[in-house]
């Protein structure tokens, strides 16, 4: 890959990322009724995708400090989207679970993300969208086969 190719991709990906993230932030506001941002939905995503976990496991999965996770969990509990429970195997430990309202909020957010992506790509010809999807899938496959966290 040449430096010119890298520079071109970097510019295009950054432009796409800015538009994508603006839409994702709006999707988070819409899905939460204006209460939550992307951080709350990152926590819900981890819970929906991976089940109950300890706050420290969630912090690692989401990539935040434990104190930041505590703030997220306080809000999610206040909104009724998650709950902390005693770990049945270890009385002093806590597990976090998503609630049905939290699952519904995450589904609204995910649907909103899909609307954003569709709006960003709807003018791109189908063959080029498929080529991009194939390239991203090849990238993801290479990450999995190399056993590198993606």
SS3 98: strand
- Higher per-residue confidence, 108 vs 88: 108
In this predicted structure, the answer to whether residue 81 has a pLDDT above a threshold of 70 is: yes
Separation CA 143–CA 150 (nearest Å)? 6
CATH number, domain 3-124, options 1.10.10.10, 1.10.1060.10, 3.30.350.10, 3.40.50.1370: 1.10.10.10
- pLDDT-derived band at 147, boundaries 50, 70, 90: low
Domain positions in the chain = 3-124
In this predicted structure, the answer to whether residue 35 has a pLDDT above a threshold of 90 is: no
In this predicted structure, the answer to whether residue 52 has a pLDDT above a threshold of 60 is: yes
120-141 confidence digits (pLDDT tens): 999 999 999 999 999 999 999 9
pLDDT reported for residue 91: 72
Separation CA 2–CA 110 (nearest Å)? 36
pLDDT reported for residue 92: 77
Query: What is the overall mean pLDDT for the chain?
Result: 92
pTM for the predicted model, two decimal places: 0.83
Asked if 23 and 118 count as a contact pair (C-beta separation under 8 A), the reply is: no
- Burial class of residue 68 in the structure, from the number of CB atoms within 10 Å of its CB (0-12 exposed, 13-18 middle, 19+ buried): middle
Distance of CA 11 to the CA centre of its chain: 23
């Amino acid at each position: 890959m040449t430096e010119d190719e890298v520079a071109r991709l970097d510019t295009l990906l950054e432009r796409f990322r800015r538009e994508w993230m603006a839409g994702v932030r709006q999707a988070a506001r819409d899905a939460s009724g204006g209460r939550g941002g992307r951080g709350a939905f990152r926590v819900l995503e981890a819970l929906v995708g991976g089940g109950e976990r300890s706050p420290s496991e969630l912090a690692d999965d989401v990539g935040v400090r434990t104190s930041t996770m505590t703030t997220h969990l306080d809000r999610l509990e206040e909104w009724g989207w998650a709950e902390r429970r005693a770990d049945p195997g270890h009385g002093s430990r806590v597990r976090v679970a998503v609630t049905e309202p939290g699952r519904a909020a995450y589904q609204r957010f995910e649907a909103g993300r899909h609307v954003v992506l569709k709006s960003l790509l709807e003018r791109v010809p189908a063959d080029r969208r498929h080529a991009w999807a194939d390239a991203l899938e090849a990238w993801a496959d290479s990450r999995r086969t190399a056993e590198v966290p993606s």
